[in-house]
Structure 1
Amino acid sequence: MPLDAATALAAAPVSREIAWGPDDVQLYHLGLGAGVPATDPRELRYTLETRLHVLPSFATVAGGGPPGVIRALSVPGAGVDPARVLHAGQSLTLHRPVPVRGAATAVSRVTAAYDKGTAALLVLRTEAADADGPLWTEEALVHMRGEGGWGGDRGPSGRPAPPAGPPDAVVERTVREDQALLYRLTGDRNPLHADPGFAARAGFGRPVLHGLCTYGMALKAAVDTLLDGEAGRVRSYTARFTGVVYPGETLRVRMWRQQEQEGPQGRIRMTVTVAGREDVPVLAGTTVGYR
């Protein structure tokens, strides 16, 4: 059925109880390619329960179940064909570090619907809080092909200027051939990432890597390279998904550190491209805020 933007915006918030533990955190980290080399002390912070810390992007899968881009399709008025839906971007604000073990209430609602002409863009905001207060706020941008043209607001169109000067660091991260299959176990069972026939119907030559997997891999690269492996320093993270990654490809992550004018806080600007496809961009507008 076609998108009904007014109904989606008017829909009541949906609340769900989520819980997670060390096994969930370790599985998520392994799904991002952590643990190579397996005995590296820096990697053991992601894989060994006695040293475990949580990469903040784990918040996007905490509690299991479908990610925001899929949950959006269950909102009244937004139940369109999943084959025409893409995850267009993700933002995350951390109110405090994500604990290794926790339970929280996550409340989601559509906060904006934009008419892009040939497509629609929905914003699904989720706020998670536990007994001690807010934990994180995330926003998923949901691109719906063929669902525009109703005369609505086009939404913001400004994009940040690309970072100037040479990057402070450049790293490459190889995506394993089975990485999408492993990452699916964190909760995103969209067949686009495993079923060749479904991927072909969606216009892709073969199954693609989850955008949120690329998102997590890039954050891990920034934390490991410019934040001394201290995941708790991350206070925000945002990116737009501009291209697909196929399992077996190599990501090239360029990073620029930018200190804020006042206080100890700063930002890391990043570009993420596919090294073997002439540096085609796959993440843009990518920024990590840190303390």
Structure 2
Amino acid sequence: MPIDAVAAVAAEPRRAEIGWDHKDIQLYHLGLGAGSPATDPDELRYTLESRLQVLPSFATVAGAGTGMTGGLSSPGVDVDLAAVLHGGQTVRVHRPIPVRGRAVQTSKVAAVYDKGKAAVLVLRTEASDDDGPLWTNDSQIFVRGEGGFGGERGPSARPTPPDRAPDRTAERAIREDQALLYRLSGDWNPLHADPAFAELAGFDRPILHGLCTYGMTLKAVTDTLLDGDVTRIGAYSTRFAGVVFPGETLRIRMWAGDGRIQVAVSAVERDDAPVLVDTLIEHS
């Protein structure tokens, strides 16, 4: 059944109450590779409850990632999950995420775009607590074979790539078991753990979650250019351009600007194959 764009966008948001505490934050950060070296004071702000801060990308797994699931089950959306690709991600935080909290989370289809051979669903998740809005989380989901319905193509503006060498470059090794740890934050897709399932999907071994790469990149930029201070981050967006395998190394190139940092991420062992592109961090 094709996507009914009008019905999908008009549907009432799905509402859920979510909660988290320091253990959820620590598990998420460990899944991103935090804690090495374990006694490094700069790492303890991600792993030790008495010093803990929260990377804004935690919004993608808060409530075990139920926001995206709610969007894909909206009225007017009846798609084959095998045709679904996570194309991009944007998180905007309205204030620092607390280490312990409860919030009301709403999820809806904010837009449906027609890319010809595919449709793009923008799944929006918003969370608020008693003190007001916490975050807005947009997932851009490509659905192959669902385009061609005559809808708007959507925005095409992309960040202009810098024409100079990066200001900083960082490399981050991905542990062999990292996908197994990261999936404990809520994404149980066997593509990231089961070799037989990965083979059916066309990969010779399980791949790392795109949102794990997303979080690893934000941590690397925060530690390298923002003095390790997550409260300086206002928004973070990216487009997923390629897969990453556990055991590989990410090369993270950073270009600093006025209140924004552009980033490009590649896989070192595969001739710098692109992983994240059009990546932008807005900060104070």
TM-score of the pair, normalised by structure 2: 0.96
**CA shift at 1:67, angstroms?**
5.5
Distance 1:177 1:228, change over 3 A: same
Q: Please name the residue that 1:3 is paired with.
A: 3
The residue type paired with residue 290 of structure 1 is: H
The correspondence of residues 44-83 of structure 1 with structure 2, limited to 5 A, is 44-66=44-66, 68=68, 70-83=69-82
The residue type paired with residue 277 of structure 2 is: A
The correspondence of residues 32-111 of structure 1 with structure 2, limited to 5 A, is 32-66=32-66, 68=68, 70-111=69-110
Could you tell me how far apart the structure 1 residues matched to 2:2 and 2:191 are?
Answer: 21
The correspondence of residues 67-216 of structure 1 with structure 2, limited to 5 A, is 68=68, 70-216=69-215
Could you tell me how far apart the structure 1 residues matched to 2:96 and 2:26 are?
Answer: 16
Could you tell me how far apart the structure 2 residues matched to 1:78 and 1:203 are?
Answer: 26
Q: Please name the residue that 2:20 is paired with.
A: 20
Q: Please name the residue that 1:227 is paired with.
A: 226
**CA shift at 1:149, angstroms?**
1.7
Q: Which residues of structure 2 form unaligned runs of 5+?
A: none
Percent of residue pairs bearing the same amino acid type: 63
Q: Please name the residue that 1:262 is paired with.
A: none
The residue type paired with residue 188 of structure 2 is: R
The residue type paired with residue 173 of structure 2 is: T
**CA shift at 1:65, angstroms?**
4.3
Say if 2:265 and 2:274, in contact at 8 Å, map to a contact too: yes
Q: Please name the residue that 2:217 is paired with.
A: 218
Say if 1:257 and 1:269, in contact at 8 Å, map to a contact too: yes
Secondary structure of the residue that 2:7 maps to in structure 1? Answer: helix
Q: Deviations over 1:128-148 (max 9, x none)?
A: 110001111110001111211
Say if 1:67 and 1:188, in contact at 8 Å, map to a contact too: no
RMSD: 1.4
Give the number of aligned pairs: 284
Say if 2:248 and 2:267, in contact at 8 Å, map to a contact too: yes
Q: Deviations over 1:88-117 (max 9, x none)?
A: 111111110000001111111101111111
Matched, 1:274 2:273: no
Could you tell me how far apart the structure 1 residues matched to 2:67 and 2:202 are?
Answer: 21
Could you tell me how far apart the structure 2 residues matched to 1:154 and 1:243 are?
Answer: 22
Matched, 1:253 2:246: no
Say if 1:84 and 1:202, in contact at 8 Å, map to a contact too: no
TM-score of the pair, normalised by structure 1: 0.94
Say if 1:174 and 1:248, in contact at 8 Å, map to a contact too: yes
Q: Which residues of structure 1 form unaligned runs of 5+?
A: 260-265
Could you tell me how far apart the structure 1 residues matched to 2:195 and 2:127 are?
Answer: 35
Distance 1:227 1:202, change over 3 A: same
Say if 2:223 and 2:229, in contact at 8 Å, map to a contact too: yes
The residue type paired with residue 285 of structure 1 is: D
**CA shift at 1:80, angstroms?**
1.5
**CA shift at 1:79, angstroms?**
3.0
